[in-house]
Amino acid sequence: MSIFRAFLSQGHRQPLSWKARRIYTLGALLALMCMMVSGGIAGALLSTNGTALAAQLVPPSQSDFGPNVYIFNPSMPQSEIQATVDAVANQQIPNQFGTQRYALLFEPGTYGSSSNPLNFQVGYYTQVEGLGLSPNDVVINGSVDVRNQCFGSNNCIALDNFWRSLSNLSINVTTPNAGCYSGEFWAVSQAAPMRRVHVNGYTTLMDYCSGPSYASGGFIADSQFDGNVVNGSQQQFFVRNSKLNGWSNGVWNQVFSGVIGAPAQCFPAQSSCGGPYTTLATSPVTREAPYLYMDANQHYNVFVPSVQRDSSGTTWASGAASGSSIALNKFFVARPTDSVETINDAVRSGQNLILTPGVYHLDQSIQVTRPDTIVLGLGFPTLIPDNGTAAMTVASAKGVSISGMIFDAGATNSQVLLQVGDGHARSDHDASDPTALHDVFFRIGGAQSGKATTSLVVNSDNVILDDIWAWRADHGNGVGWTDNTADTGVIVNGDNVTAYGLFVEHYQKYEVIWNGNGGTDIFFQNEMPYDPPSQAAWMEAPGVDGWAAFKVGNQVTSFNGYGMGSYSFFNQGVDIYAAHAFEVPTTLPAGSLHDLLTIFLSTSGSGGILHVVNDAGGSSTSANPDTPVTIVSYP
């Protein structure tokens, strides 16, 4: 713990020149991976080219989820389970922009023991999930970890630990002989949700065992921690409807909504209460993500939780959660080889949809037209529209759920990647049965060349956005100001839309446009684009430098925001400024916005943000790097 104590002694503030060093050599990582998995059982489980795993452990007669879904049960030899999860991890930990996708599913029961624990790591595009109805139905004595990735000497960080998840199980933290890695390590960044997890023991969201240990996450919901949680270097983090037994510290923007045991409100950070913490006693309206489970007869079902209002704590604290089950035979289980026409025919005929792991190249839009349709991703299925269409459209129908997938822009520009509602018959989305998007992620460039004008458009009313990361890539393939073009990450036109955990980064104009009335955003994390080539190339209007990160439309009369941060860093060697981070009507009711901040990320950059919201608030520029500039309440 000496490294962590040293970190705390520095007042939670670290120089962030790392933001300029997020492009790494994939070749070196692949070489490292080959060394890691050569020989032994884990090596044997990999194919000769190191890109695919052996056939699924469960016979096809038991499951039809495809070869990249591994289903474990307690009767299997633990050595076999250990070898398999290690082989997946060794392949996927360095595989940031690869095409491999995996789901590791655990049937109800207990895995590992105090003397022989099950400890393993989770890499990119890997979903780890229990198949019980309650998270206490699957117990792992051990740990399920995400650690730093190391890129040379003293450059071990968690900044790019994206696209992985942990859900619906319990962990009795058991890490004998682990040395520094004693505990449950979940050092993640964006797009790495933890849901419905019960951790009995010490948890850290920072990997302090190798330096400099920077982290930039993350999202937790419907979870319980019986031991202390170390936030450590996590510059921002969002926790919703959970139970904590202790939280160590804040850095820039730690937000808690409906969390029992959360730190008290304390923004900005101050010696009397720690912080910075934005704390809401309850969440206004929530609907937890649907999930796959196995019943007592070993039949698969999908559980769809009910909507909650003004809620706190987990859905399962007092027994079975409220909701309904749908049998697996009510789902079309799609694979990447299925045509869009086949998928759409199944959905139109009344089937729900499970997308199994893989990359889906689409020649037309997947169309969700029926109320209460469930679209559930396993193992981070990735949808790429090849012809410039939307990847998916959702009709103006109530109760639709989209969860657990990546929308990846294709080489031909799409006007939108996911559209929810067509703007007509918006009253069909009634508040009693809201449509919800859970763990839905967007990517423009990075894996391959991609372009999309807008990533997500929400036209319908009463929609819940629950963990969204919209990312115009700042590193990887096809990245550049004129290469991975993208105007806006999220546009909300519907009324009474509620967002929890909204992460939107690097878009080239307004990153979020919120036009609907009665909206609420609880937690917002943004980085402005790094790469405008000149001020003239990045102007909202004549005389208005840059583009605001979050624009609330001039016609909006009611909107509430809590814990909203926008960061800047410009790396083209010239001064680039944004006049405002947030632009909102001055006619909003007093105190509509709570706990806003801006930060300039690096001493090596140029320019910055001149005002926090409208013309209020000071500047965060290269003159005051790594220093939060805050507004507690506006207007």
Q: Please report which helix (H) or strand (E) contains residue 34, including its range.
A: helix 26-37
Quick check: 197 and 175 in contact, CB under 8 A? no
Catalytic residue among 505, 527, 540, 583: 527
- Structure tokens given for 491: 């546009």
The Cα–Cα gap between 266 and 276 comes to 5
Measured in whole angstroms, the distance separating CA 546 from the mean position of its chain's CA atoms is 27
The Cα–Cα gap between 510 and 583 comes to 10
Return the percent helix, strand and coil in the chain, to nearest 5.
10, 40, 50
Q: How many CB atoms lie within 10 A of CB 616?
A: 15
Q: Please write down the HEC assignment for all residues of 360-395.
A: EEECCCEEECCCCCEEEECCCCEEEECCCCCCEEEC
Contacts of the segment 29-32: beta carbons below 8 A, 24+ positions apart: 29/94, 29/96, 30/94, 32/94
- Cis ω before 268 (30° cut-off from 0): yes
The Cα–Cα gap between 113 and 139 comes to 10
Active site residue 505: no
∠58-62-64 over CA atoms, to 5°? Answer: 90
CA nearest neighbour of 630 among 584, 586, 581, 585: 581
Bridge pairing between strands 156-157 and 149-150: antiparallel
Quick check: 70 and 104 in contact, CB under 8 A? yes
Active site residues: 527
